[in-house]
Amino acid sequence: MLTSFSVLHAPPIPYCAFMTDDPEAIVNYAADGAETKFGSALVTLVEIRGGAARALGAQMAVRGDGGYCGYVSGGCTEAAVAAEAIAAIAKGMDRYLRLGEGSEFFDIILPCGGGITLAIHVVKNVKPLRQILSALEKRKRIALRYDSGTQMISAVKSQEKAPGTWSGTSFLRSYKPNLRLVICGRGIELATTSRIGLASEFEVLSLDEASCDFEAGTIDNDTAIVLLYHDLDHELPWLKAALDSKPFYIGALGSKRTHERRCAALWALGFTQAQTDRIKAPIGMFGPTRDANALALSVVADVAEAYSLQRLA
């Protein structure tokens, strides 16, 4: 029978504070929580046995008051993971948690049939997390090193394209800025693709022919350039800026014949075939499309696939 004392001191009940897959939001939740009286933990997927719903490096942030965000599985285990993290916060000690195949928790079965190992780190030093957030705000790549022996984290230079990997006895969790989608065009195609991009939680810059304040420095390795003009003269300035930079994706609207004329115009300006081969044309994952909604879905899906492959290359 529970006494009034045990009821008053029962551990907090885990609850999902908000649903997100955004690594920056997860790190921020952990950093903010560590600076409260409740404390926080950062949970990282560090081993996969068989199949898994998430990739190595997937994370959750858990606060001592029960709130959590992020995913390390398909949503079926996160509350149980949060309960373990809350217990770790109360003791001030890191721990590993094995779920699914090879786990002591027989009542927690992963739908994929595999097993995962999670590293639960109780945040004692918030500085590395703030360094991660500062780098991402400046659109710089960075990584978080976790050493389970010392139970310490540190911000280090990102050297891996995969989200998570082991380096000796330390686990490196790499972070990249949010995908930036620069859409140049006009009319309904521009408006619809911008809307789908925003719904996909991309950072969207929507530019039409009247835009004149675009800076080439906006284009970085985590930027996709999408050209939705039906006019070669209007798209040439954007193409030149894109080819002089290193976005991970360049796509242009138009038929194969239109693309042949596009390449000829760029070659005449001094660009090489190797450079024009970087342009995805006709644009999109599927085609041809005959309406703005289908075009927008095709383009955003193509960009998302290219970014996913680039992250795991």
Residue-wise pLDDT tens digits, 31-85: 999 999 999 999 999 999 887 889 999 999 999 999 999 999 888 889 999 999 9
225: which DSSP letter?
Answer: E
Map tokens 């014949």 to a residue. Answer: 257
Query: Would you state the pLDDT for residue 166?
Result: 92
Query: Would you state the pLDDT for residue 244?
Result: 92
From the list 111, 105, 14, 109, the residue with the least C-alpha distance to 54 is 111
Torsion-angle region of 14 (φ positive above 0: left; ψ -120 to 50: alpha; else: beta)? beta
From the number of C-beta atoms within 10 Å of its C-beta (0-12, 13-18, 19+), residue 79 rates as: middle
201: which DSSP letter?
Answer: T
Query: Would you state the pLDDT for residue 1?
Result: 43
Query: Would you state the pLDDT for residue 4?
Result: 45
Residues of the chain with pLDDT under 70: 1-9, 101-113, 160-161, 209-214, 216, 311-313
Instruction: Quickly list DSSP for 287-310.
Output: ----SHHHHHHHHHHHHHHHHHHH
Query: Would you state the pLDDT for residue 74?
Result: 84
pTM of the model: 0.87
Sequence length of the chain is 313
Query: Would you state the pLDDT for residue 52?
Result: 82
Query: Would you state the pLDDT for residue 2?
Result: 45
**247: cis peptide before it, omega within 30°?**
no
Identify the structural domains of the chain with CATH numbers, from first to last: 10-175 (no CATH), 180-311 (3.40.50.720)
